[in-house]
Amino acid sequence: MKLPEINRQTLRRWLAVLLAFLLALALLVLIPLLTHREPRPDRRYTEHPPQATQMPLSSPAPVPHDMPDPTLPEQDPELEALLAAFIEQHPGTWDIYVYNLTYGEFAGMSTQEDSPMVAASLIKLFIMGAVFQQFKEYKLPYNETWPSIRKMIATSDNYCANWLTIRLGEGLESAGIEEVTEYAHSLGCGNTSMNRTMLDTNSELENYTTAEEVALLFKLLYRYELVSPEYSADMLSYLKAQTINDRIPAGLPAGTVCAHKTGDLPHICCADAGLIFSPGADYILSVINNGSEDDKAAAEAIVELSAQVYQFFNPPTQPDDGSVG
């Protein structure tokens, strides 16, 4: 049987139909791929995306500590008297907590015991802990995120803090804020709450904590119990790399190791809290001042308090004059 001849015009029509079909099929496949976008944080907080400028600090093996029973702390009346004298000499709204990590004594003093204090950048300690918790649960990638943590802590970078908060919320700012508060509460810090991102000047909300609750985070960190021993070592290394050292470290002898974090909001909050490693004792000093009209004077007062607490744990030795009595 002889097949009918196909003229050129019919062939061109069939080719056109085939090409149109193939083009439509290609568009059905390519359009979803080309238009897909991953959720991104608010553009306000990614104008200066954090860059991995150096390798992470090495994580030393956890060091075992012969610690006293943390459930049986003893209040130190002499240390409490020191704090009371300091507040009497420096009127204002203060919340102070000191804990002797070597022997377990503590003292606390607050001028508004029933209310938490504005935290300012101290809330970044809890952002850091929440991020490391998500590292542990494989919810966030460590290699992509650690440079932002280090910058948030060492230089108190607000853009990095906000970027990390949004990552905690899987792209949603409000979910990230809630995640930080829930993490703080999981540590037993019930008065600590994150209510807004950093630099949100349009918000009437503030972030809150107390000196004692910040000290609790540092206690866990010192014992390598914050998230995990390895991640505690990382967090300690970032805190030791702090570049804002005009408060607690300024009242310490040169060379004293201090892992700390400051907090600043003009005329609202001037704070510093951290671990001090000294010959007489390792201890925590956590200080928050709210509402000072003179932020410089508040910072200088914290320097003075830091020196007094250091001398309390490291009293000067009496020289031996060789006399026999």
What the chain holds in terms of domains, given with CATH numbers, is 76-313 (3.40.710.10)
Cα–Cα distance for residue pair 314/316, rounded to 1 Å: 6
Can you tell me the mean pLDDT for 294-321?
A: 91
Cα–Cα distance for residue pair 76/111, rounded to 1 Å: 19
For 254-267, the pLDDT digits (tens) are 999 999 999 999 99
**Cα 206 from chain centroid?**
16
More confidently predicted of 59 and 22? 22
Can you tell me the mean pLDDT for 28-44?
A: 48
Is the pLDDT score of 139 beyond 90? Answer: yes
Helix spans in the chain (H): 8-35, 77-89, 123-136, 142-154, 158-168, 173-186, 211-222, 229-240, 295-313
In the sheet with 93-100, reading across from the earlier edge strand, the strands are 74-75, 105-110, 93-100, 282-290, 269-277, 257-265
**Which pTM value belongs to this model?**
0.78
Backbone angles phi, psi at 285, to 5 degrees: -125, 120
Is the pLDDT score of 203 beyond 70? Answer: yes
Candidates 284, 287, 299, 271; CA nearest to 95 is: 287
